[in-house]
Amino acid sequence: MNSTTRARVVVLAGPSGSGKSRLAARLHGAHGWPVVRLDDFYRDGTDPRLPMRELGGTRLVDWDDPGSWDADAAVGALRRLVVEGTTEVPRYDIARSAAVGTDRVSIAAGALVLAEGIFAAEIIGRLGDEGLLHSAWCVRHHRWLTFVLRLVRDLSERRKAPHILLRRGLALCRDEPRVIARMGRLGARCATPREATSALAGASADAGGPR
């Protein structure tokens, strides 16, 4: 990349259903910043390393545990994107619990890349240590609003069976304050989508993000 200013990463973390993807799409439309969907780095459903949990008397894969996600692959892809200007990312089908293809993402020198996903906060420290991080955000609403938004989305996309989605949604709602607190400890700044949009207006890779 022929620039003294290399690209940097804006991390958009937050509970499932909090609006990370919508915020990323809005920022992409306003600034042209590419989006890396970190949830596409979920492990395949046949991976023996997947964590399990009991939910309503049923033993299921715990897709809300960071162990269900390949952090090393996600960081590697973001590193290649920032350093080389292009990278290949998986395309994950949640209903199939498997990657079904790949996509190529490119970025201009000195631009920002939006890395969004429910486990995005897990890599804030690593990105910061490597000098790849611009800023990190925990996108949030009131937890019951997030519950409704998540359930409507998951049902409309037929991500899993309705009874599983409802049980999972209630469990996530109960756990949300703890999840948000942990993301804050990992280095994310909590904000509503509107607040994050305002703070990132005019942002660039040659200046650090808000702390």
Assign residue 28 the CATH number of its domain. Answer: 3.40.50.300
CB atoms within 10 A of CB 113: 23
Give 210's pLDDT tier (boundaries 50, 70, 90): low
pLDDT (average), residues 155-159: 76
Q: What is the pLDDT of residue 2?
A: 41
Q: In angstroms, rounded to a whole number, what is the distance separating the alpha carbons of residues 97 and 103?
A: 17
Whether residue 77 lies inside any domain: the answer is: yes
- Output the CA torsion sign for 47, 63, 94, 186: negative
The answer for residues whose C-beta is within 8 angstroms of residue 188's C-beta and 6 or more apart is 11, 13, 14, 121, 124, 136, 137, 138
| Per-residue pLDDT tens over the stretch 32-64 | 999 999 999 999 999 999 999 886 677 888 888
Whether residue 132 lies inside any domain: the answer is: yes
pTM for the model stands at 0.82
Which residue range is the domain that position 188 belongs to? 8-142+180-199
Whether residue 78 lies inside any domain: the answer is: yes
The two tokens of residue 78 are 């973001």
Whether residue 112 lies inside any domain: the answer is: yes
The answer for residues whose C-beta is within 8 angstroms of residue 52's C-beta and 6 or more apart is 59, 60, 61, 62
pLDDT (average), residues 13-25: 87
Q: What is the pLDDT of residue 1?
A: 41
pLDDT (average), residues 183-211: 84
- Output the CA torsion sign for 170, 97, 149, 17: positive
Whether residue 101 lies inside any domain: the answer is: yes
Whether residue 79 lies inside any domain: the answer is: yes
Predicted confidence (pLDDT) at residue 151 exceeds the cutoff of 60: yes
For residue 53, the cross-strand partners are: 60
Give 5's pLDDT tier (boundaries 50, 70, 90): low
Give 207's pLDDT tier (boundaries 50, 70, 90): low
Whether residue 165 lies inside any domain: the answer is: no
Q: What percent of the chain has pLDDT over 90?
A: 57
Number of compact structural domains in the chain: 1
Whether residue 80 lies inside any domain: the answer is: yes
Average pLDDT of every residue of the chain: 87
